[in-house]
Structure 1
Amino acid sequence: MTAISNAPVGTPVEQKPISVICKDALLCQCLMLGIAHRGYFDRVVGFTDPAEWVASEICSSSTIVLWISDASSLDKMINDDLDILREKAPNVTVIIISTLTNTYAVINALRKGVKGYVTSDSDLDVLLGAIRLVRAGGVYAPTNSLKELSTTSTFGEEPDNEAREKEATRFTAREMTIIRLLRLGDPNKTIARKMNLTEGTIKLHVGTIMRKIGAQNRTQVVYFTNRVFKDP
C-alpha cells in the first residue's frame, strides 16, 4: 500500500480517502498523484489489487478508482471482485478506468452497480469530474455510450427461459461461443486465438451472426443477444 497526502502540515485529512487499485505500480503512482494534486483531494491511497485493499486497514474508503486493462479483468471485477469489496465495505462506490470503450462494457458495469466508468483515453479532468460526481451521489458514463444506447432496444421486458432457449437455437454452438466473447469486449484477433481459428474465420462468423439478427455493428450484436443470456 502507498499513500499520498495533499493536505498542508497541521491540517486534518479527510477521514475516508480515495483508493486507487492498479496492478501496474508506476501507473498507480501516476493516478494517485494526478488525483491528489490536480484534484485537490486530501488523501489518496494505492493498492495492487482488490484483495490487498480488503486486507488493509484503509478499506473503509468510500471511493475506489480501479484500473481495468482487458475484458477478462472487467468480467472478473463486476462478477466477483465487486461483491468482495461490498462485503467488506457495503457503502463503497467504485469508479472504473478502462481501456474497453464499447457500449456493452460500460452498461454492463453500471448494471452491476459500478458508479462511474471512465475510458482510458479520457483527460485527467474527466476522471476528476467523475470522482466528484460519484462522491456527490451521481453516476458517470461516457457521453458516446449513452448516445449509442439510446438508439438500441436493450431494456425491454425480460424474456422467460423458454423464450431464451428458442432464440438461442438461431445460433450454432460456435456462434454462441463467439457471441459470448463479443459480450466480453474481445476483438476478433483475441477471439480467434481463444478458439484456435483464423481471424478471417471469426470475421465470417461475426458477419453471419449480424445478418441473422439484423445487427449493423458489434455493439448491436451484444445488445440484440441480451435475450439469449440470463446474465450480460
Structure 2
Amino acid sequence: MIRVLLADDQELVRAGIRLVLRHADDIEVVAETSGGHDAVALALRHRVDVALLDIQMAAVDGLTAAERMAAEAPSVRVVMLTTFGEDGYVRRALRAGAVGFLLKDSTPQELIQAVRLAAAGRHVASPEITGQLIRGYLDGAAPSGDPHRERLAVLTERELEILALVGTGASNAEIGQRLFLGEGTVKAHVSRILTKLGCANRVQAAVLAHEARLSPGSP
C-alpha cells in the first residue's frame, strides 16, 4: 500500500484529491495538513511514501516543506501540486529533491498514476507543463553548456549515453531496449550517475543533461 501525505490549504482541494485516491486500491491518504509547518512530522509519524505538497500555502509553503523533507525525511517522494504558470518555482523545488509536478486540474487517472510513479522512484510531470518547466529552468541557466559539460566529465561513455536518454524522459525499460541492456543494468547505471553528479533524482539529472546540451547520439 502506498501511503500518502496531502498538504494543501484549500479544504475542497484536499477533499477532491482524497476522493480520487480513495478509488485506487493500492493508495491510502494517511495524513493531511493545511500547511507545510507540520508536514515532515506527519510524514515521519505515518511512515509516508509520497507527499503531495501544494506549492503556495500560507505560513510555511510547499517548497519550504519539501526542503525540510529532503533533510529530515529523505525517503519520502515529494510531488508538488501546482497551477499552470508557476514554473518559476521549479529550480528551488528540484534542488529540494521533488520528483514531480502535477497540475491541480489533472485528471483522476493522472493523479493516481503520478502517485504510483513517484512511489516507484520515477519522476512525473503533467504533460501540459513538462516542456514549460524545462524551458523555465534553462532560461535561468548560464548560456554556455561548457561548465555543465565539465561536470559530466566524471561519467563513463556508457553513463553519458544513458544520461542523454534520461534527459528525454525515457524509462529504464525504454533505455534498455535502446541500448540492448537489461532493465536492472540500466537501473544500476542510473543510480551511479545520480551519485556521481550529486543529483537527488532523475528530474535533476534530466535538467543537467539539457543544460549540457546532451542528447542521444551527441559527442
Taking structure 2 as the reference length, what is the TM-score of the superposition? 0.52
Of 37, 41, 44, the match for 1:51: 37
Q: Please report how far the alpha carbon of residue 29 of structure 1 lies from its aligned counterpart in structure 2 after TM superposition.
A: 2.2
Q: Which runs of 5+ in 1 are unaligned?
A: 1-13, 160-232
Once residues 126 and 108 of structure 1 are traced to their aligned partners in structure 2, the CA distance between those partners, rounded to angstroms, is 24
Are the structure 2 counterparts of residues 17 and 69 from structure 1 closer, same or farther at C-alpha, using a change threshold of 3 Å?
same
Q: Please report how far the alpha carbon of residue 144 of structure 1 lies from its aligned counterpart in structure 2 after TM superposition.
A: 4.1
Once residues 19 and 117 of structure 2 are traced to their aligned partners in structure 1, the CA distance between those partners, rounded to angstroms, is 19
Aligned to 2:198: none
- Return the letter of the residue paired with 1:34: V
Structure 1 contact 95–115 (Cα < 8 Å) conserved? yes
Once residues 26 and 144 of structure 1 are traced to their aligned partners in structure 2, the CA distance between those partners, rounded to angstroms, is 23
Once residues 89 and 115 of structure 2 are traced to their aligned partners in structure 1, the CA distance between those partners, rounded to angstroms, is 19
- Return the letter of the residue paired with 2:73: A
Once residues 138 and 52 of structure 1 are traced to their aligned partners in structure 2, the CA distance between those partners, rounded to angstroms, is 25
Identity of aligned residues (%): 21
Q: Please report how far the alpha carbon of residue 68 of structure 1 lies from its aligned counterpart in structure 2 after TM superposition.
A: 3.0
Aligned to 1:40: 25
- Return the letter of the residue paired with 1:66: L
Once residues 73 and 132 of structure 1 are traced to their aligned partners in structure 2, the CA distance between those partners, rounded to angstroms, is 29
- Return the letter of the residue paired with 1:35: L
Are the structure 2 counterparts of residues 142 and 81 from structure 1 closer, same or farther at C-alpha, using a change threshold of 3 Å?
same
Does residue 61 (structure 1) correspond to residue 45 (structure 2)? The answer is no
Q: Please report how far the alpha carbon of residue 139 of structure 1 lies from its aligned counterpart in structure 2 after TM superposition.
A: 0.3
C-alpha offsets along residues 133-175 of structure 1, whole Å, 9 cap, x if unaligned?
111111012334443436966464569xxxxxxxxxxxxxxxx
Q: Please report how far the alpha carbon of residue 33 of structure 1 lies from its aligned counterpart in structure 2 after TM superposition.
A: 1.8
- Return the letter of the residue paired with 1:64: A
C-alpha offsets along residues 107-149 of structure 1, whole Å, 9 cap, x if unaligned?
5423431111011232121111111111111101233444343
Structure 2 contact 21–27 (Cα < 8 Å) conserved? no
C-alpha offsets along residues 82-128 of structure 1, whole Å, 9 cap, x if unaligned?
23223432211111111243443345423431111011232121111
- Return the letter of the residue paired with 1:136: A
Q: Please report how far the alpha carbon of residue 69 of structure 1 lies from its aligned counterpart in structure 2 after TM superposition.
A: 4.0
| Structure index of larger Rg | 1
Q: Please report how far the alpha carbon of residue 44 of structure 1 lies from its aligned counterpart in structure 2 after TM superposition.
A: 0.9
SS in 1 for 2:93: helix
Count of residues in Structure 1 that have an aligned counterpart in Structure 2 = 142
Q: Which runs of 5+ in 2 are unaligned?
A: 149-219
RMSD (Å), alpha carbons: 3.4
Once residues 48 and 84 of structure 1 are traced to their aligned partners in structure 2, the CA distance between those partners, rounded to angstroms, is 16
Once residues 142 and 42 of structure 1 are traced to their aligned partners in structure 2, the CA distance between those partners, rounded to angstroms, is 19
Structure 1 contact 18–44 (Cα < 8 Å) conserved? yes
Once residues 72 and 90 of structure 2 are traced to their aligned partners in structure 1, the CA distance between those partners, rounded to angstroms, is 24
SS in 2 for 1:132: helix
